[in-house]
Every structure is written in structure tokens, then in C-alpha cells.
Amino acid sequence: MSDNIPSAASADFVSTEAGQSVPFSSTVFFDGSCALCRAEIGYYRRQDQSAALCFVDVSQTGAAIPAGISQQNAMERFHVRASDGRIVSGAAAFVEIWSRLPKWRWAARAATLPGALTVLEFGYRMFLPVRPAISGLVRRLVQLQARRGGAHRR
């Protein structure tokens, strides 16, 4: 599946996989080398029925990463470019995504409660050091599932 990447010439529109040019709301920069991140982005892709999100795998050579953010930083911390051009990261990036997905707008609204974003950011920062271990576990589970699926087909 190819990522939707806005072109510099048409920053307000993105081409869908069907070749349609539609307006986009946010561009999601994710670490495609992380199994956990790939699984979560896969979920968001399935939820994004209106193509409101573009996805850029920053682990790929030549990925269009926002100015001022290194590839290493983009892989270590989740970033989103909002439709107004703001770059948000961490918990705020998740809230930006949730605000674009109808089934998740309730979570984006909840994040506007006093102190909620601070708590979410704290949780995100606590998660970051253990992300590699969780990603490794997800990778092993996916491999195990693939082996079991292959065994059932025989």
C-alpha cells in the first residue's frame, strides 16, 4: 500500500490510491520500521474512510519529513502536520488524528478538558522507553500468527 504524500505544488490536496485528488486535513509521520507503529497506522488507515489523513513512513529513505525535524527525531516521536501547517508531536499528534476520525472525535474532545493533554503527554513519555520492547512483542505475535495461518492452509 503506497503512502499518500502531499506534493509541494498542491499542499491542500492529496491523491488517493484510486487517483482522486481530495483535500486533506493532516499528514501523519510514522516510523514504519516499528511493528507496533505499523499496526496502529494500519488501524487509522482503515478508520479514515474520507481520506482525511495522509501517511508518511519516515523510516523510508527520501521520506518527506517536515523542515526542522531530523529523520531520527521523526522516528523516535510521533509527529503530525495539521491542515493549518502546525507541526504537533506526542499526545497532541494523537489528538489531531482523533479529531479527523469520526469514531474517535469523542477522544479528541475529551483531550480538551483541563489537564487532559498534560496527562496524555505524560503517559506518552512514559511509553516511549518501552516502545521498542512492545514493538518486538507485536512483531513476534504477527510472525506467530502468520505461521499458524500458513499451517491451517495446508
The answer on pLDDT for 135 being more than 90 is no
In residues, how long is the chain? 154
Tens of pLDDT along 59-113?
Answer: 999 999 999 999 999 999 999 999 889 999 999 999 999 999 999 999 999 999 9
Closest CA to 55 of 80, 33, 74, 36: 80
Note the pLDDT of residue 76: 93
Tens of pLDDT along 22-68?
Answer: 455 799 999 999 999 999 999 999 999 988 999 999 999 999 999 99
Note the pLDDT of residue 26: 93
For residue 139, name the pLDDT band (cuts at 50, 70, 90): confident
- Say what the pTM is: 0.77
Closest CA to 85 of 135, 133, 27: 27
CA angle 138, 143, 149 (to 5 degrees): 125
